[in-house]
Amino acid sequence: MLKIGTLELSPGAALAPMAGVTDTTMRRLCASFGASCTVSEMVSAKALTMGDKKSPRLMAGGSAPAPFGIQLFGAEPEVMGQAAEMIVQGKYGVSFDFLDINMGCPAPKITGPGAGSALLKDPVRAGEIVRETVRHAAGVPVTVKLRIGWDEDDLHAGSGVEVAKRCEDAGAVMLTVHGRTRRQMYEPGIRPEEIARIKQAVSIPVVANGDVTSAESALTLMQATGCDGVAVGRGAMGNPWLFAQIAAAMRGDEIPPAPGLQERFRILRRHIYDMCEDKGERVAMMEARSHAAWYMHGLKGAARLRRECCAMTHFTDLEPVIELAFELQREHEKRL
> Tell me, what's the pLDDT at 65?
81
Q: Are residues 270 and 236 in the same domain?
A: no
The parent domain of residue 130 ranges over 3-251
Q: Are residues 286 and 231 in the same domain?
A: no
Q: Are residues 175 and 144 in the same domain?
A: yes
Residue 269 lies in a domain: yes
Residue 256 lies in a domain: no
Q: Are residues 47 and 181 in the same domain?
A: yes
The DSSP 8-state label assigned to residue 100 in this structure reads E
326 with 261: CB under 8 angstroms?
A: yes
Q: Are residues 13 and 116 in the same domain?
A: yes
Q: Where does a domain end: 251, 270, 285?
A: 251
CA distances from 276 to 18, 23, 280, 318, 323 (A): 20, 12, 5, 12, 21
pLDDT tens per residue across span 132-190? 999 999 999 999 999 999 998 888 788 899 999 999 999 999 999 999 999 999 888 89
pLDDT tens per residue across span 258-276? 999 999 999 999 999 999 9
- Amino acid (1-letter code) at residue 159: S
Rounded to whole angstroms, the Cα distance separating 73 from 61 reads 19
Query: Of the listed 30, 105, 227, 309, which one is catalytic?
Result: 105
CA 320 to chain CA centroid, nearest Å: 31
Q: Are residues 116 and 245 in the same domain?
A: yes
Q: Are residues 203 and 310 in the same domain?
A: no
Rounded to whole angstroms, the Cα distance separating 201 from 251 reads 27
Residue 274 lies in a domain: yes
pLDDT tens per residue across span 200-249? 999 999 999 999 999 999 999 999 999 999 999 999 999 999 999 999 99
Rounded to whole angstroms, the Cα distance separating 118 from 107 reads 10
Q: Are residues 105 and 247 in the same domain?
A: yes
The DSSP 8-state label assigned to residue 9 in this structure reads P
119 with 125: CB under 8 angstroms?
A: yes
Q: Are residues 193 and 229 in the same domain?
A: yes
Rounded to whole angstroms, the Cα distance separating 114 from 101 reads 14
Q: Are residues 42 and 161 in the same domain?
A: yes
Residue 48 lies in a domain: yes
CATH number of the domain bearing residue 112 = 3.20.20.70
What's the structural domain count of the chain? 2
Q: Are residues 196 and 231 in the same domain?
A: yes
Annotated binding site for FMN: 17-19, 71, 145, 178, 233-234
Is 276 among the residues known to form the active site? no
